């Protein structure tokens, strides 16, 4: 097999394209593969596929996978056609996408590297600028979104994550497979509404549950766009538990302020003990809480009702759960502990979503895991120059998209 045939097979060329020459420049450490086009080849518009007359040709260069230790460039005189509908356009070539300076095989190689390494590492290893890598990543995400079949949206989760300090956020929508479906600017009702607007009515009706925190903005968007939203919105257990642990800690601090000064250090040191659930307490911690309960009566009450709420969530079916939660709300109000009664008011307002979460066993666990991975990604990248790059990186790494180009397509 001669070198021309070898590179034709490597590039996946077939008539009317062929390799016309291969040159090695040892001083530059570069192999140049020149590709030609048969003179009688039929030229077509890259947009509509219509046969069109040639207009002129221009030299273009693409970086290809290295040949051994030599950097490899593909060079071709690519014709432009005069399309009556779309004007003067450069025809498509089989080894690269339009407007790309890299072959499909090279882009696939870069994508495989980016999945496991930072942009900085890929830049150094492959001698690419960050802008070049970002362009490859952008095409990969666009390709993945275009080629992706309709993804599962039956069970959705909505979460937010910060882009940078200063209350600059993005909204992340994911599914039950842990794939990010959309990343929208901000954390307002419009942010989530933009995602819902991309769905047709049939797709919207197919949604059975939407797990979220207790953000009024996300609720507003869901009520505006989703039919029977009150039966689909689910408030994750984590956020209910977070509300109650916050009420418990506020109550402990209020009790500590009223306690004798000699006890305050011990009360302060017990703060994490009160936040734990009873099954995780050892004997020493149980004794510590019993001793402190004499002086921290409100804290003891709030801790008991926090554990009671956990029992309701874990042990009741939905039909019995409604009554159990209503009884819990009444008990919390009877205590007259300000932080607890405030939490009880919120639970009463959000009870429909809490019951939905129990019925669907809905959780934001996967969404929270994605959020943690996104934070790690941000640290590894040492921040992102723009929010668009940040959003693109989230879809690239966690979108589950088929992004690799097909060189044989």
- Coarse DSSP helix, strand, coil percentages of the chain, rounded to the nearest 5 percent: 50, 20, 30
Tell me, yes or no, whether 184 lies in a domain: no
pLDDT at 37: 95
Task: Encode pLDDT of 339-372 as tens digits.
Answer: 999 999 999 999 999 999 999 988 888 898 999 9
Q: Would you list the DSSP string of 307-366?
A: HHHHHHHHH--HHHHHHHHHHHHHHHHHHT-HHHHHHHHHHHHTHHHHHHHHHHT--SHH
What confidence tier does 266 reach under pLDDT thresholds 50, 70, 90? confident
What confidence tier does 165 reach under pLDDT thresholds 50, 70, 90? confident
- 67 CB-near residues (< 8 Å, 6+ apart): 31
Q: How far apart are CA 233 and CA 352, in angstroms?
A: 8
Tell me, yes or no, whether 87 lies in a domain: yes
Tell me, yes or no, whether 230 lies in a domain: no
Report the share of the chain in percent with pLDDT over 70. 98
Q: How far apart are CA 354 and CA 384, in angstroms?
A: 36
Each residue of 197-232: b (16+ CB within 10 Å) or e? eebeeeeeeebbbbbbbbbebbbbbbeebbeebebb
For the segment 303-323, the average pLDDT, to the nearest whole number, is 85
pLDDT at 2: 82
pLDDT at 318: 66
pLDDT above 70 for 1:
no
pLDDT above 60 for 409:
no
Question: Tokens for 254?
Answer: 């209020």
Q: How far apart are CA 147 and CA 76, in angstroms?
A: 28
Task: Encode pLDDT of 134-146 as tens digits.
Answer: 999 999 999 999 8
Q: Is the dihedral of CA 389, 391, 394, 400 positive or negative?
A: negative
For the segment 295-317, the average pLDDT, to the nearest whole number, is 86
pLDDT at 103: 94
**Domain-terminating residue out of 37, 66, 95:** 95
Which residue from 114, 76, 172 is spatially nearest to 395, judged by alpha carbons?
172
Do 92 and 101 meet the contact criterion of CB atoms below 8 Å apart? Answer: no
Give the up-direction half-sphere exposure of residue 87: CA atoms within 13 A in the CB hemisphere: 0
Q: How far apart are CA 192 and CA 185, in angstroms?
A: 9
Tell me, yes or no, whether 158 lies in a domain: no
**Domain-terminating residue out of 345, 360, 375:** 360
Tell me, yes or no, whether 138 lies in a domain: no
pLDDT above 70 for 273:
yes
Q: 99 vs 382, which has greater pLDDT?
A: 99
Tell me, yes or no, whether 339 lies in a domain: yes
Domain count across the chain: 2
**Domain-terminating residue out of 64, 95, 126:** 95
Which residue from 115, 139, 37, 27 is spatially nearest to 80, judged by alpha carbons?
37
The chain-wide mean pLDDT, for the chain, equals 90
Tell me, yes or no, whether 367 lies in a domain: no
pLDDT at 317: 67
What is the CA angle 378-381-384, rounded to 5?
Answer: 70
Q: Is the dihedral of CA 121, 136, 391, 143 positive or negative?
A: negative
Task: Encode pLDDT of 181-229 as tens digits.
Answer: 999 999 999 999 999 999 999 999 999 999 998 889 999 999 999 999 9
Which residue from 95, 13, 81, 14 is spatially nearest to 48, judged by alpha carbons?
81
Domain that holds residue 352: 237-360
pLDDT at 284: 80
- 49 CB-near residues (< 8 Å, 6+ apart): none
User: Residue 281 burial by CB count (10 A; 0-12/13-18/19+): exposed, middle or buried?
Assistant: middle
Q: How far apart are CA 365 and CA 350, in angstroms?
A: 19
What is the CA angle 394-399-404, rounded to 5?
Answer: 105
What confidence tier does 316 reach under pLDDT thresholds 50, 70, 90? low
pLDDT above 80 for 239:
yes
Question: Tokens for 3?
Answer: 């070198």
Question: Tokens for 274?
Answer: 């009160």
Q: 59 vs 319, which has greater pLDDT?
A: 59
For the segment 41-60, the average pLDDT, to the nearest whole number, is 93
Q: 276 vs 223, which has greater pLDDT?
A: 223
DSSP state of 151: P
Which residue from 210, 217, 243, 221 is spatially nearest to 367, judged by alpha carbons?
210
pLDDT at 407: 61
Tell me, yes or no, whether 321 lies in a domain: yes
């Amino acid at each position: 097999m001669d070198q021309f045939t070898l590179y034709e097979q490597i590039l996946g060329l077939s008539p009317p394209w062929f390799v016309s020459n291969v040159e090695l420049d040892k001083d530059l450490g570069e192999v140049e593969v020149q590709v030609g086009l048969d003179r009688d080849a039929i030229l077509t518009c890259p947009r509509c596929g219509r046969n069109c007359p040639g207009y002129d040709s221009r030299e273009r260069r693409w970086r290809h996978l290295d040949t051994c230790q030599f950097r490899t460039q593909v060079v071709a005189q690519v014709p432009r056609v005069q399309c009556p509908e779309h004007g003067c356009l450069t025809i498509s070539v089989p080894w690269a996408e339009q407007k790309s300076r890299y072959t499909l095989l090279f882009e696939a190689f870069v994508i495989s590297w980016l999945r496991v390494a930072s942009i900085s590492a890929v830049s150094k290893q492959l001698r690419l600028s960050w802008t070049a890598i970002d362009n490859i990543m952008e095409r990969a995400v666009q390709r993945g979104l275009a080629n992706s079949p309709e993804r599962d949206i039956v069970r959705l989760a909505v979460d937010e994550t910060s882009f940078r300090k200063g209350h600059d956020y993005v909204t992340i929508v994911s599914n039950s497979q842990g794939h990010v479906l959309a990343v929208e600017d901000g954390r307002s009702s419009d942010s989530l509404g933009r995602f819902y607007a991309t769905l047709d009515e049939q797709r919207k009706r197919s949604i059975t549950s939407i797990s979220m925190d207790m953000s009024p903005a996300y609720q507003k968007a869901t009520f505006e766009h989703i039919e029977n939203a009150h039966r689909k919105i689910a408030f994750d257990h984590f956020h209910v538990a977070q509300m109650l642990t916050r009420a418990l800690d506020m109550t402990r601090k209020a009790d500590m302020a009223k306690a004798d000064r000699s006890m305050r250090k011990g009360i302060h040191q017990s703060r994490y003990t009160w936040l734990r659930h009873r099954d995780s307490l050892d004997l020493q911690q149980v004794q510590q809480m019993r001793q402190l309960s004499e002086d921290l009566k409100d804290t003891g009450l709030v801790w008991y009702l926090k554990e009671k709420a956990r029992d309701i969530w874990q042990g009741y079916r939905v039909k019995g759960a409604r009554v159990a939660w209503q009884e819990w709300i009444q008990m919390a109000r009877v205590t007259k502990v300000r932080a607890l009664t405030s939490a009880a008011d919120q639970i009463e307002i959000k009870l429909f979503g809490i019951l939905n979460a129990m019925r669907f066993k809905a959780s934001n666990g996967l969404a929270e895991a994605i959020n943690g991975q996104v934070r790690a990604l941000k640290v590894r990248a040492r921040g992102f120059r723009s929010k668009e790059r940040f959003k693109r990186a989230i879809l690239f790494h966690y979108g589950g998209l088929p992004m690799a180009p097909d060189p044989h397509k």
